[in-house]
Amino acid sequence: MARNVTTQRKILTTAAAWTIGLIIFFPIYWTILTSFKTEAQAINDPPLFFAFNWTLENYAVVQERSDYMKFLWNSVIIAGGSTILGIFIAIPAAWSMAFVPSTRTKDILLWMLSTKMLPAVGVLYPISLIFVEFNLLDTRGGLMIVLMLINLPIIVWMLYTYFKEIPGEILEAARMDGATLKEELLYVLTPMAVPGIASTLLLNFILAWNEAFWTLNLTAANAAPLTAFIASYSSPEGLFFAKLSAASTMAIAPILILGWFSQKQLVRGLTFGAVK
């Protein structure tokens, strides 16, 4: 029997959901708002919500002082590159774990996930040394590899759960039909898993885009992405709130727009397997 939902209850839950949503969104809203204020207005007490002189000055200053396009381009290459690299490694890995599991597969999956529980700073020193040794410091290639490795457990896990949903008999049918392993992955598994692969790509791209620890620690001028761009405006001295906000807005805008247009895909991907 369907549960009875009273109108009153509906109104209450809707109001609660909106309140939580607005609280979560507020910092982003405030950042965007502040980016259009002058530095003095930005720290005004009481805070100004609408009654201030809207200005684009901060954006002009930020663009003048640092080359936004260069940081953006670095972000796109590093996030995109690590995602594509990751997916090429993760598809065969997830295939083998989903369709030809061994008795240790579950342990491997958990072990992979456990690396995500390790504080990143714990391996900062060894990774920095490796970067120095191989001349990877401040290179986009080096950062691509590190971000790929960091997000790989999540990509493999996500793909693994999507692949588990695909009936093994279909892949066996492909084998009976004369497909080699490569053809089986290319013509049967990948096209069937497109929704799952797409949402994995998206999520991984977003994670890589927002990753700050490694991008800040392993880059200087050449390979610095947008996270470094924001950080360069976070100064303990002087009035920089409005400019910092403008830089932040510019840094999160591309990913916010991407997320907005792909939200359906993302939600479907993240809840895949929960409902048949």
Partner 1 sequence: MGQIQLKQVTKSFGNTQVIPPLDLTIHDGEFTVFVGPSGCGKSTLLRLIAGLEDITTGHIEIDGQDATGVVPAKRGLAMVFQSYALYPHMSVRKNIAFPLKMAKLEQAEIDKKVEGAASVLNLTDYLDRRPGQLSGGQRQRVAIGRAIVREPAAFLFDEPLSNLDAALRVGMRLEISELHKRLETTMIYVTHDQVEAMTMADKIVVLHAGVIEQVGTPLELYRTPRNTFVAGFIGSPKMNLITGEEAAKHNAHTIGVRPEHIDVVESGGTWQGTVGVAEHLGSDTFFHIHNTGLADTLTVRAIGDVSLKHGDTIHLTPRAQEIHRFDDAGLRIAQ
Q: Is 170 in the site for partner 1 (CB under 8 A)?
A: yes
First to last CA, the chain: 20
**122 vs 191, beta carbon nearer partner 1:** 191
Q: Are 136 and 181 in contact (CB under 8 A)?
A: no
Q: Is 67 in the site for partner 1 (CB under 8 A)?
A: no
Q: Is 165 in the site for partner 1 (CB under 8 A)?
A: no
97's enclosing H/E stretch is helix 68-99
**119 vs 167, beta carbon nearer partner 1:** 167
Query: In angstroms, rounded to a whole number, what is the distance separating the alpha carbons of residues 31 and 245?
Result: 5
Q: Which of 9, 102, 172, 235 binds partner 1 (CB under 8 A)?
A: 172
Question: Binding marks (x or -) toward partner 1, 114..153, rule CB under 8 A?
Answer: ----------------------------------------
**126 vs 191, beta carbon nearer partner 1:** 191
Q: Is 276 in the site for partner 1 (CB under 8 A)?
A: no
Q: Which of these segments, 55-63, 143-151, 173-181, 231-239, binds partner 1 (CB under 8 A)?
A: 173-181
Q: Are 239 and 40 in contact (CB under 8 A)?
A: yes
Question: Least distance from C-beta 167 to partner 1, angstroms?
Answer: 6
> Which residues within the stretch 181-240 sit at the binding site for partner 1 (CB under 8 A)?
183, 187-188, 191-192, 194
Q: Which of 2, 176, 221, 275 binds partner 1 (CB under 8 A)?
A: 176
Largest CA distance in the chain: 73
- Kindly tell me the burial class for residue 182, based on how many C-beta atoms sit within 10 Å of its own C-beta (0-12, 13-18, 19 or more): exposed
Q: Which of 126, 178, 236, 238 binds partner 1 (CB under 8 A)?
A: 178
235: CB partners within 8 A, 6+ apart: none
**21 vs 168, beta carbon nearer partner 1:** 168
Residue 264 zone, left/alpha/beta (φ > 0; ψ -120 to 50; rest): alpha
62: CB partners within 8 A, 6+ apart: 68, 233, 243, 246, 247, 250
66: CB partners within 8 A, 6+ apart: 229, 232
Question: Least distance from C-beta 141 to partner 1, angstroms?
Answer: 35
Q: Which of 12, 173, 239, 257 binds partner 1 (CB under 8 A)?
A: 173
**52 vs 99, beta carbon nearer partner 1:** 99
Q: Are 256 and 182 in contact (CB under 8 A)?
A: no
Question: Least distance from C-beta 168 to partner 1, angstroms?
Answer: 9
What six digits make up the tokens of 200? 């994995």
Binding residues for partner 1, rule: CB under 8 A, are 167, 169-170, 172-180, 183, 187-188, 191-192, 194
